[in-house]
Amino acid sequence: MAELKGEKLTRSASRGQRHQSASRPSSRTSAGGSGSSHMKVAAHFQVLEKMNVPSAVRTLSSDDLQQVRHAANRILTYIMSQDKPGREVMVKNTLYVQSLLTTLETHKDIDVCRTIVTIFVELIGKLNTGSRCSQLVTQGATRVFLHLLARESKPDVPNEFMVQIHYVLSKLALKDRKFGVKARLSQALPVTLAFIRNHTHSTAVRNLQPVLTVLKSYANNAINASYLGKNGAINTLFKIISNINKKNAVMTKTALDTLVLLVKSKSNSARAVGYGGVPILIQMYAEWHRLDTKNRHISLRKSLLNILKHVSNLKSGRQAVIDADGVRVLYKICEDIMDVRELESLIFIASLVLRKCFPRQKLPANATKTTLLYKLPESEFHVPQGLSKDAALLNGITLNVDTKDDDDSSLDNDDDLSSDDEIEPTKPVLGNFSLDRPDEGNARRTLEDLRMYEQFFPEVLDIEVKDTLSTQQDDLNILLDRVSSLTASEGLKGNPHSMPDLRSTKYTHFSEPLFGNTLDSAPSTAGRGRTKAPYTYRKDEEAAATARLEKKEVCEGGASAVNLKTGQPVFSLDFEVNSPTSNKSRYKPLVSPFEHKSKAKGKASKSTDSLLDMDDLRSDPLLDEGDDSEFSADDWVKPADFYDMARKTNSVGRFSKVAYPDLHGSKPIPKREPLYERKFGVQRAKIFEDIDRLINSEELLNRVVYDFDAIVKDGGDEFHGGSSYYANHDVERLGKPVTPYDHLHFNSLFESGNLRKSIQIRENEYDLILCPDVNSNHHHQWFYFEVSNMVAVNGEPYWARAGTDVCYFKNHLSRSSQVTGGVRGKLYFTTTFTIVFPHSYDVCYIAYHYPYTYTSLQCQLSRWQHSIDESAIYFRNQVLCQSMSGNNVNVLTITNYPSSNSKEAVEQFRNKPYIFLSCRVHPGESNASWVMKGTIEHLLSDSKEAVALRQTYIFKIVPMLNPDGVINGNHRCSLSAEDLNRRWMVSCPRLHPTIYHTKGMLQFMRHMQRTPLVYCDYHGHSRRKNVFLYGCSPSQSWMTDDVDNPSVLSDKSEDYGYKTLPKVLSQTAPAFSLSSCSFTVEKTKETTARVVVWRQIGVVRSYTMESSYCGCDQGPYNGLHINISHLQHMGRKFADALLRLKSRHFKVTELTNEDGKPLAFSAEDSCPADNQYGDDDYAEDNLSDDITDDDDDEELDDADVL
């Protein structure tokens, strides 16, 4: 190093001379010194170039070698005299740089090589070296210096020379992306490692800074890291960091960064543990925490924690941390720095280490045993793929799952959010049955097979020019109406999965298609009145029709559907053919079991969002949060009537009560609720509270205060087969404590309830475990339960956002591989929140979102039927099918009556386009039901927009596709433990009846050339804010050449009509976000409703509408939580936006209101003058098509939530 110091002195002197010359520029220029210096340097480079001859060609004499040494020294002197711009010019001179590099390659004289290396040290400099190093890398300097390093690895080579080479390499490595590969190929790794190993003693280690930097660059390559670990680099580095003086923080940081890169490998982590490095690291971290009082070395302390984080991925590493008392040390240090904002990164990494070292524990419930089991109907067409082990055994299905648990797994992925969509599902096996076999239950159905769905288009069957149809057709229609009335009022009989009111295809013959375009008959003489239901029929006509049909043996005690190919009956429905019916209008709605206080026409269904003109659609003001007209007492049913409706609801288990919010109608709090903003450090504090359980476990109560599993076990067969108790006594319980007094009481034995277990941890802290979906071990997101017996410091019952310190993180509870489908090492997650109850001995209900139960829907349907103006609104509520547990699945038809019974009016009525809406395929997405409620109520109102919608379209609505899941508190699946939104491609009539028959209706409409103009499936989204649509774009589909897709135009051009509705909604709906919309069609979504309806049915405007559980971050609702009023308002706005569609598929004449005056808008003439909503204008639009977020099946981690 003495010679290096001399060179530095020489350079300083030269710089001093240069500064003196700079003060007299005129004399220097006149002397011609600058020009002569350049010429002399060029001459010296010519000497080097002349002597750069390989030794195999020519051997240099002593004189030649002396010339090379002299030229190199003169060049060094010249470069040392140059300032930074002069050196950059020299570096950019390719001929000069190549001459120097060639000299290093060809000459083995140690003095020449040292001089040349010093030249490069001077050229690179110490500050702002990036551009000069980049120039050298492009000219191949990295390869030359690596070869020089390998060549000069001799014992007699001075250490200072080796340090210089490493200095140059440390600078070049920053700009050479292939540095690690070049070093390995040049055999430079063992040279550097050996040099460091020979200088680990405290006196020599202070000169290793550039050498350690090069070693760090080697370790950036995974293969190099493995090689270095095998050759003792881990042990060497631990010796170095033990001998480095604490004042040399830069070198310590470099050594630790190198260790961080090395221990990313599990094998190297094991070597670090085996060497005993964990106690050294913990001790160093404690020392630097004590010394670094001004927080100047945060990055160094962070490197120490990163090493511990990688080491703790191993079971042996975690145990080493625990044995070294690392958990207590890290926990104490984190407590000391908890309030220091700039040390947040240290606290975060330390928490990861602590959470990994937390001893794994089993879930305090039988995680491999499903809480509720349901015996599925046998099906030879399909085997459910999501059943738990117990459910599979109950149904005779064998699951091939590796049940071996492995706690010694890697924990490299520390994300708190994960998805089991990444897990390959385990395929169950049933004998020789293969899931790859085509699903015979969903074979392509012919038009004759689909004739069973004719009954669900009463708007066509009911309204007709009577003289043109055959007597047999009239008789059958009359009888079918009788069947519909019986099934709606008395319930279904016979097969619980059968479709009601099915007509047999073997005796049903029509002279023309159901949706005929022409009527070759005279118009009916029946007129249409305003206060009287039109198209009435007499009781004697019904009796005559019944007699004629009985003679032909069409019905002998029941209606049936027969498969024409096999001749076997598919479904049957028993009913009394001789039972009398009342002599009422065939347009009279079903008799409601409820007694309403007011039966004024349109009062209950009148929209509270009536718009004055089309300009209001574009900029609607913020909803009045205090407007609670939707939830007035007159709008809801009496408790006794609700109990009667609830008794018709079939559940898997027995309920003990009716929830108070459902009984009295869910009410949102009449005020704005700002979005919850989590304070800084809340989640961190909650995680450390969880860690405190390990350290102070003796202070925990661990007292079970509610156990749903025990209730099911004690109830035995009566719990599954017994009748539920339908009542509510919450009002009587208010203010009355219940024994025992020292803890809260919980209950979830009511419709849609979900709570599995409650464990009292401390006096005011409880762990809550959720039930999985029925027959499944998965999907633990939806919760709904009651809390009572609280002690606190009376008011109106409202649903309100509550809780503080809301966090979501991975906990220490391990998941069995039986639950994860064979994947080992998975953990459960915790959702934590704090709620302070304001009233003593109150009764509170806590839910994931505003609940909307199946019974509430049935009450709404009955209320709508009872209160609408039936002379102005065509409304039919039919039972599409029954779910597996025997609950009715409703399908609604909403439109208006034709203006008259003339041929032209009826033809125009039948040719109106269809809008098909569905909802609640995922039970936990209750917000979708509130949006649907807003849509239906708006369509049944007397606002001019609703009148225009009914005049323009025929609405087909399935408001709840998964009633069994809703009733039993599931989050995602049906009773078959399957996501029904993944069964649209292939569905089984027994295991997925709702999807099978809903799709059958759509297939029937396509066969009759009446494909819906719009299909929309309402969903909820928990990860994103606002409301938005997912659509289908052929150009963004995974299948670019989809020749079988009827929605793709024949000329391969794209119909951009699917972008119109989102654009309109962005102008009219305050909660809607256009930037969140996506039209990407991924292969993983090919079995969802949106994609199947688009590809198989040919609906261009096929959407999934996602409504946030949370709130909005744009528009008038920015910063607010979404409540029930907002959701219903979105439903109304969605319906209004349909009026703005301009489509080539249909043409609507001028619309009129009840007074006969034309409305200011229509489906044909609803766009502004600049045609900004026209389909053609969307060819150039860019509506966030690149969004690839999950749609249709969005959810958080499939894990129990504590």
Question: Tell me: the pLDDT tens digits for 128-166?
Answer: 888 899 999 999 999 999 999 999 888 888 889 999 999
Is 7 a domain residue? yes
Is 859 a domain residue? no
Is 784 a domain residue? no
Q: Is 1106 a catalytic residue?
A: yes
Q: What six digits make up the tokens of 17?
A: 């001379």
- The span from the CA of 232 to the CA of 227, in Å, is 9
Paired residues of 809 in beta bridges: 830
Query: Could you tell me if 256 and 318 lie in one domain?
Result: no
Q: What six digits make up the tokens of 388?
A: 């738990």
Query: Could you tell me if 352 and 291 lie in one domain?
Result: yes
H or E stretch covering 486:
helix 471-490
For residues 37 and 78, the answer to whether their CB atoms sit within 8 Å is yes
Picking from 262, 290, 324, the residue at the C-terminal end of a domain is 262
CA dihedral 1064→1066→1072→1074, nearest 10 degrees, is: 110
Q: Of 413, 407, 310, 308, whose CA–CA distance to 360 is shortest?
A: 407
- The span from the CA of 450 to the CA of 672, in Å, is 49
Average pLDDT, the chain: 75
Query: Could you tell me if 165 and 224 lie in one domain?
Result: no
Query: Could you tell me if 42 and 138 lie in one domain?
Result: yes
Determine the 3-state secondary structure of 559 from DSSP. strand
Query: Could you tell me if 235 and 287 lie in one domain?
Result: no
Query: Could you tell me if 107 and 252 lie in one domain?
Result: no
Q: Which residues of the chain fall below pLDDT 50?
A: 1-33, 56-57, 401-441, 468-471, 479, 482-633, 793, 1143-1191, 1193-1202
Query: Could you tell me if 231 and 137 lie in one domain?
Result: no
Is 199 a domain residue? yes
For residues 773 and 640, the answer to whether their CB atoms sit within 8 Å is no
- The span from the CA of 701 to the CA of 1094, in Å, is 56
Query: Could you tell me if 180 and 206 lie in one domain?
Result: no
Residue 1002, pLDDT score: 95
Residue 877, pLDDT score: 95
Picking from 357, 391, 419, the residue at the C-terminal end of a domain is 357
Determine the 3-state secondary structure of 847 from DSSP. strand
Distances (CA, A) of 94 to 101, 141, 172, 188, 315: 10, 11, 17, 26, 55
* Residue 629 CB coordination number (10 Å): 10
- The span from the CA of 456 to the CA of 1083, in Å, is 32
Q: Model confidence over 1174-1198: pLDDT tens digits?
A: 333 333 333 333 333 444 544 434 3
pTM: 0.68
Is 293 a domain residue? yes
Residues whose CB falls within 8 Å of the CB of residue 1116, separated by 6 or more in sequence, listed in order: 621, 622, 1070
Would you call 429 exposed, middle or buried from its count of C-beta atoms within 10 A (0-12, 13-18, 19+)?
middle
Picking from 184, 212, 232, the residue at the C-terminal end of a domain is 184
DSSP string, 323-389: HTTHHHHHHHHHHHTTT-GGGHHHHHHHHHHHHHHSPPEE-SS-TTS-S---PPPP-SS---SS--H
Q: Of 304, 298, 297, whose CA–CA distance to 353 is shortest?
A: 304
Distances (CA, A) of 146 to 105, 220, 943, 981, 1088: 11, 17, 82, 60, 57
Q: Of 404, 421, 402, whose CA–CA distance to 1198 is shortest?
A: 421
Query: Backbone phi, then psi, for 813, in 5-degree steps?
Result: -90, 120
Residues whose CB falls within 8 Å of the CB of residue 871, separated by 6 or more in sequence, listed in order: 529, 530, 531, 532, 533, 601
Helix then strand then coil, in percent of the chain rounded to 5, is 45, 10, 45
Residue 910, pLDDT score: 86
Would you call 95 exposed, middle or buried from its count of C-beta atoms within 10 A (0-12, 13-18, 19+)?
exposed
Is 729 a domain residue? no
Q: What six digits make up the tokens of 426?
A: 């385990």
State the greatest distance between any 2 C-alpha atoms of the chain, in Å, as a whole number: 133
Residue 1000, pLDDT score: 94
b/e for 354-391, b at 16 or more Cβ within 10 A? bbbbbeeeebbbebbebbbbbebbebebbbbbbbbbbb
Name the catalytic one among 630, 1106, 1194, 1195: 1106
Q: Of 511, 529, 530, whose CA–CA distance to 520 is shortest?
A: 511
Q: Omega before 740 cis (within 30°)?
A: yes
Q: Of 189, 180, 177, 182, whose CA–CA distance to 133 is shortest?
A: 177
Q: How big is the chain, counted in residues?
A: 1202
- The span from the CA of 993 to the CA of 570, in Å, is 13
Residue 999 identity (one-letter amino acid): K
Q: What six digits make up the tokens of 21?
A: 């010359």
Query: Could you tell me if 46 and 166 lie in one domain?
Result: yes
- The span from the CA of 146 to the CA of 8, in Å, is 25
Residue 465, pLDDT score: 62
Q: What six digits make up the tokens of 122?
A: 């001077």
Q: Write down the residue that tokens 């749903």 correspond to.
A: 708
Strand order in the sheet with 361-362: 361-362, 804-814, 827-834
Range of the domain at 47: 1-14+35-51+61-184
Is 246 a domain residue? yes
Pairing of strands 765-769, 757-762: antiparallel
- How many domains does the chain contain in total? 3
Query: Could you tell me if 3 and 150 lie in one domain?
Result: yes
Query: Could you tell me if 152 and 199 lie in one domain?
Result: no
Would you call 983 exposed, middle or buried from its count of C-beta atoms within 10 A (0-12, 13-18, 19+)?
buried
Is 672 a domain residue? no
Pairing of strands 361-362, 804-814: parallel
- The span from the CA of 49 to the CA of 45, in Å, is 6
Determine the 3-state secondary structure of 593 from DSSP. coil
Query: Could you tell me if 180 and 247 lie in one domain?
Result: no
Q: What is the 3-state secondary structure (H, E, C) of 111-141?
A: HHHHHHHHHHHHHHCCCCCHHHHHHHHHCCH
